């Protein structure tokens, strides 16, 4: 973590609980940089997270007002915070299981209402913290602790799901591209309306080792096999589609 960002971190909370090689440290840094780039201070922000590895990013680490809420409920808490304190920039940081599985209804309905909050989803393709169980973002064929012979179900395209539900800003980036990820998060913070950023994050401990992806470097290489939303002539195929799926047409920049 660069010294300029360390002032935002509670010293007592370090080192982070993340496994060696986990991508969540990069996401944490991208969020802090994006907040600085958007001209916000930590006292302008309220962070809300659920339960899971990703949810540990703001609480206990950020030197700011943070709410660590029950699994699946951060968007509901964030809705209350925003209604009570509309002057605050309210940011949810949570995992794919938290936001798209148990919390899926809160997510789509907040998007439908185009509520003015920012939601950052660390998508590591499964339930990381609880032992690597299958989730609604797990790719077909992927091995998890509950699908040892391979997942038989399709995964949500989370960014498209949230955009389809009515969010006026929805983007997917990866920790493999920290600068692009930071810009997408900055855009979400500046956006007025529901802003969703799905950040692909590799989980070497639960996903990598079960799927014979030898190490975090190999996971990084796979995350770089990308194409972009709206990139003509480059269909996704097996590649990961990154970029802003929904342009901020309804909402305004602030």
Ligand X SMILES: Cc1ncc(C[n+]2csc(CCOP(=O)(O)OP(=O)(O)O)c2C)c(N)n1
By the criterion CB under 6 A, which residues form the site for ligand X?
A: 51-54, 70-71, 95-98, 102, 122, 124, 127-130, 135
| Residue 135 binds ligand SF4 (CB under 6 A) | no
**From ligand SF4, ligand X, Mg ion, none, which one binds at residue 22 (CB under 5 to 8 Å depending on kind)?**
ligand SF4
* In the complex, minimum distance from the CB of residue 26 to ligand SF4, in angstroms, rounded to a whole number: 11
Decide: 27 and 174 in contact? Cβ < 8 Å.
no
- For 129, phi then psi, to 5°, come to -65, -30
Q: Scanning residues 13 to 42, which ones bind ligand SF4 (CB under 6 A)?
A: 18-19, 22, 24
39: left (phi over 0), alpha (psi -120 to 50) or beta: left
Q: What is the number of helices (H) and of strands (E) in the chain?
A: 8, 8
Q: At 31, is the secondary structure helix, strand, or coil? A: helix
CA distances, 43 to each of 96, 118, 180 (Å): 27, 16, 25
Contact of residue 198 among ligand X, ligand SF4, Mg ion, none (CB under 5-8 Å per partner type): none
The single residue among 124, 159, 199, 205 that binds Mg ion, judged by CB under 5 A, is: 124
- Residue 205 binds which entry of Mg ion, ligand SF4, ligand X, none, with Cβ cut-offs from 5 to 8 Å by kind? ligand SF4
* Sign of the dihedral defined by the CA atoms of residues 182, 187, 190, 193, in that order: negative
For the bound state, the minimum distance from the C-beta of residue 29 to ligand X, rounded and expressed in Å, comes to 16
Q: Which does 117 bind (CB under 5 to 8 A by kind): Mg ion, ligand X, ligand SF4, none?
A: none
Do residues 91 and 50 make contact, with C-beta atoms less than 8 angstroms apart? no
The helix (run of H) or strand (run of E) holding residue 231 is none
Residue 182 · residue 190 · CB < 8 Å:
no
Q: Which stretch binds ligand SF4 (CB under 6 A): 102-110, 122-130, 155-163, 219-227?
A: 122-130
> Could you list the residues that contact ligand SF4 (CB under 6 A)?
18-19, 22, 24, 53, 124, 128-129, 203-206
Can you give the binding site for Mg ion, defined by CB under 5 A? 95-97, 124, 128
């Amino acid at each position: 973590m660069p010294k300029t960002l360390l002032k935002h971190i509670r010293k007592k909370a370090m080192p982070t609980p993340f496994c060696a090689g986990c991508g969540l440290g990069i996401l944490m840094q991208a969020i802090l940089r994006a907040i600085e780039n958007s001209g916000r201070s930590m006292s302008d922000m309220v962070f809300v997270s659920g339960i899971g590895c990703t949810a540990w990013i703001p609480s206990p680490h950020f030197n700011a007002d943070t709410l660590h809420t029950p699994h699946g409920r951060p968007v509901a808490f964030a809705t209350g915070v925003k209604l009570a304190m509309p002057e605050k920039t309210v940011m949810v940081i949570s995992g794919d299981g938290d936001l798209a599985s148990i919390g899926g209804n809160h997510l789509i309905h907040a998007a439908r209402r185009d509520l003015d909050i920012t939601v950052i989803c660390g998508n590591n393709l499964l339930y990381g913290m609880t032992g690597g169980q299958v989730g609604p973002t797990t790719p077909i064929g992927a091995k998890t602790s509950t699908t040892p012979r391979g997942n038989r179900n399709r995964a949500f395209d989370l960014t498209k799901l949230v955009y389809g539900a009515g969010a006026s800003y929805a983007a997917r980036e990866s920790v493999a591209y920290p600068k692009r990820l930071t810009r997408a998060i900055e855009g979400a913070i500046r956006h007025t309306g529901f802003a969703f950023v799905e950040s692909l994050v590799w989980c070497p401990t639960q996903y990598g080792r079960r799927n014979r992806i030898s190490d975090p470097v190999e996971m990084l290489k796979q995350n770089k096999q990308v194409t972009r939303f709206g990139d003509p002539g480059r269909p996704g195929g097996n590649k990961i589609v990154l970029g802003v799926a929904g342009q901020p047409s309804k909402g305004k920049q602030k």
